[in-house]
A and B are shown apart, each in its own frame.
Chain A
Amino acid sequence: MDFQIAAFLAVDGIANGAIYVLIALGTVLIFSVTRVLFVPFGDIAAFSALTLAMIQLGRLPGTVLLLVLLASIALALELVSLARHRKWRAMPWAVLYYGILPTLPALAAWLLLGATLAVGWQMLLALALVLPIAPLLDRIAFRPLADASVLVLLIVSVAVHFAISGLALLFFGPEGFRTEPLTRAMFDIGGIPVGAQTVLMVAAAAAFSGLLYLYFETTISGKALRATASNRVGARIVGIRPGRTGTFAYLLASLLGGVSGLLIGPVTTLYYDSGFLIGLKAFVGAVMGGLTSYPLTALGAVVIGLLESYASFFSSQLKETLVFASLIPILIWRSVSSLQVEEEEEDIS
């Protein structure tokens, strides 16, 4: 392998890594705030790409039906729960948040069916259609189990993934899709050809990571999310509702997942079940951050992207194996380094 090939693989790996960064950050965000390891998160990314593909083909994306379905179930659950606690005054808000807001993008998609839209608007519509899915799934599947153990939540999460990818097969069919690229421009950096799409992926990952950091550090709602992740009881006794911050975490993470889907759509052929593998690889990156540290998670995701890229050069059959096998050294390293943290904590208290 000469320098030229190594550099080419590095560019490819960083582009993949940028996608994994967005998805891994979303995974950590949801996990730390809600304790749910949200397995269908990769599906959310695939959904946004496939929804965009449908819009570009001039078909009504199945996501519309999914949104209406999920919103009706979530609204019914919420109304029953409010009625049981005799909170009649909260009902109009429930109708707004669970009934009207999530179905607005669906209505827009239906009205705009067949209209010719600029690519930017198509992407925005696809993103808007994907954003409410995870918060609604949270209300339906996870909120009633808020006090369950992490393991129970994980099992439910796997079940939700199978349900969602089954629905994806129904809505999008078994064939793969590619979306229209935003740009086909190529740059030449030191003799290495770099696609503008690659630059876009890396820039988006950097921009969203930066925005996430600013949000957590400077806004009170970002700090409330961190507080919920840090100590749920502590958050409740200052008046932060973990359920509500959870919904917000799902929305924010969906934005990251949706954007990453829009970015890979033009460079990879995506199928109804492609999201799972993407999510799983991002998860390996997130494990490197111990599912708590955002900077380490981002670093881990880039490492996974690079590893995958080089592994596919040496042995394309073993590339997935190599990526997932890397979990073992990562876990050993994590357990060695977190052991010290636990000892420190004991010292203090």
Chain B
Amino acid sequence: MSALLEIRDLSVSYGKVEAVRNVSLEIDEGQIVTIIGANGAGKTTMLAALMGLLPSQGRVSYQGRTLDDVDVEDRVAAGLCLVPERRELFADMSVEDNILLGGYTYRHNKALMRESFEIVYDRFPRLRERRRQVVGTLSGGERQMLAIGRALMARPRLLMLDEPSLGLAPLIVREIFRIIASLRDLGVSILLVEQNARAALETADVGYVLETGEFSLSGKASDLLHDPRVAETYLGGHT
């Protein structure tokens, strides 16, 4: 069986500066894969390139088909979805409208729309309570839930999450990671990019360590969690 997403020698540059260099990665159906790394290692750049928001070199194939010449909007329609670091919500619109627009690619299928709404609201009861509220009035954690909920509404097969724990209180972070782990039941594969290495590795099956644009380590997430090189740099020195 071929991988859901297969990346071979992906490079992304801003002008002459190469932010990501020759990285290769595979994600199988149903897997949670994490990329950990420090600030500025190129994690966000890599996800933006996979989404088609930035031009890149190298081979990327999704469901066995190359993603060259497939634009962002068609990638979304094919089930490749991104929850960006800055969330990029529609701030002056209601929670419900934000979720609704997550289903924009199949907007004419009302039955599927209703079904997806239920899936999202079942996962995030808090969003159901606040569905009439404007996004501007939500807390940071609720906004992150909404960003994930909006992406789920698009019925993703591969969900890419960029720093979902960024700027959130520890209790909320735990909640968010619990939700991410539970998305596996929906048959969604996940590519999780995180600075919070411990939580990410505890959630994921496979991990990669990105350092200045290149993978320095990779392996089973549970092995990486006990790897002294990872522990020293990313887990605060003690495991």
| Contacts from A to B (Cβ < 8 Å) | 85-87, 220, 223-224, 226-227, 230-231, 233-241, 348
Partner of A240, one of B89, B97, B101: B101
Partner of A227, one of B72, B87, B101, B105: B101
Partner of B53, one of A85, A87, A236, A240: A236
Contact residues in A for B104 (Cβ distance below 8 Å): 220, 224, 238-240
Expressed in whole angstroms, the Cα–Cα distance for A231 and B104 within the complex equals 15
Q: Which residue of B lies closest to A221 (CB)?
A: B107
A339 CB to nearest chain B CB (Å):
17
A87 CB to nearest chain B CB (Å):
7
| Contacts from B to A (Cβ < 8 Å) | 51, 53, 69, 72-73, 76-77, 81-82, 84, 86-93, 97, 100-102, 104-105, 107, 136, 150-151, 153-154
Q: Is the CB of A233 within 8 A of B76?
A: no
Q: Which residue of B lies closest to A344 (CB)?
A: B136
Partner of A87, one of B69, B76, B84, B101: B69
Expressed in whole angstroms, the Cα–Cα distance for A234 and B53 within the complex equals 11
* Contacts A220-B107, A239-B104, A348-B136 given; does A234 touch B73 at CB 8 Å: no
Q: Which residue of B lies closest to A293 (CB)?
A: B92
Q: Which residue of B lies closest to A233 (CB)?
A: B88
A312 CB to nearest chain B CB (Å):
37
Q: Is the CB of A230 within 8 A of B73?
A: no
Partner of B89, one of A86, A224, A234, A241: A234
Q: Is the CB of A239 within 8 A of B89?
A: no
The main secondary structure of chain A at its interface with chain B is helix
Contact residues in A for B92 (Cβ distance below 8 Å): 226, 230
B147 CB to nearest chain A CB (Å):
9
Additional pairs, 7, CB under 8 Å, beyond known A224-B104, A234-B89, A239-B154:
A223-B100, A226-B97, A227-B90, A231-B88, A233-B88, A236-B53, A237-B51
Q: Is the CB of A86 within 8 A of B91?
A: no
Expressed in whole angstroms, the Cα–Cα distance for A41 and B151 within the complex equals 37
14 contacts between A and B (CB under 8 A): A223-B100, A230-B90, A230-B92, A231-B88, A233-B53, A233-B86, A234-B87, A237-B81, A238-B76, A238-B102, A238-B150, A238-B154, A239-B73, A239-B154
* Contacts A231-B90, A234-B88 given; does A239 touch B51 at CB 8 Å: no
Contact residues in B for A231 (Cβ distance below 8 Å): 88-91
A110 CB to nearest chain B CB (Å):
36
Q: Is the CB of B90 within 8 A of A234?
A: yes
With a 10 A CB-CB cut-off, give which of A85, A223, A226, A237 has the most chain B CB atoms.
A237
Partner of A226, one of B69, B86, B93, B154: B93
Q: Is the CB of A237 within 8 A of B105?
A: no
Contact residues in B for A85 (Cβ distance below 8 Å): 69
Expressed in whole angstroms, the Cα–Cα distance for A240 and B77 within the complex equals 10
Expressed in whole angstroms, the Cα–Cα distance for A87 and B81 within the complex equals 23
With a 10 A CB-CB cut-off, give which of B76, B101, B107 has the most chain A CB atoms.
B101
A338 CB to nearest chain B CB (Å):
14
Q: Is the CB of B150 within 8 A of A233?
A: no
Q: Is the CB of B69 within 8 A of A237?
A: no
Expressed in whole angstroms, the Cα–Cα distance for A36 and B238 within the complex equals 54
Expressed in whole angstroms, the Cα–Cα distance for A230 and B89 within the complex equals 8
Contact residues in B for A224 (Cβ distance below 8 Å): 101, 104
B45 CB to nearest chain A CB (Å):
14
Expressed in whole angstroms, the Cα–Cα distance for A230 and B88 within the complex equals 9
Contact residues in A for B154 (Cβ distance below 8 Å): 238-239
Expressed in whole angstroms, the Cα–Cα distance for A236 and B89 within the complex equals 11
Contact residues in A for B88 (Cβ distance below 8 Å): 231, 233-234, 237
* Contacts A230-B91, A231-B88 given; does A223 touch B72 at CB 8 Å: no
B15 CB to nearest chain A CB (Å):
15
* Contacts A220-B100, A239-B76, A239-B104 given; does A230 touch B81 at CB 8 Å: no
Expressed in whole angstroms, the Cα–Cα distance for A240 and B90 within the complex equals 13
Q: Is the CB of A227 within 8 A of B93?
A: yes
Q: Is the CB of B101 within 8 A of A238?
A: yes
B67 CB to nearest chain A CB (Å):
13
Contact residues in A for B100 (Cβ distance below 8 Å): 220, 223
Expressed in whole angstroms, the Cα–Cα distance for A348 and B92 within the complex equals 14
Expressed in whole angstroms, the Cα–Cα distance for A348 and B151 within the complex equals 22
Expressed in whole angstroms, the Cα–Cα distance for A81 and B189 within the complex equals 34
Partner of A233, one of B84, B105, B151: B84
Q: Which residue of B lies closest to A87 (CB)?
A: B69
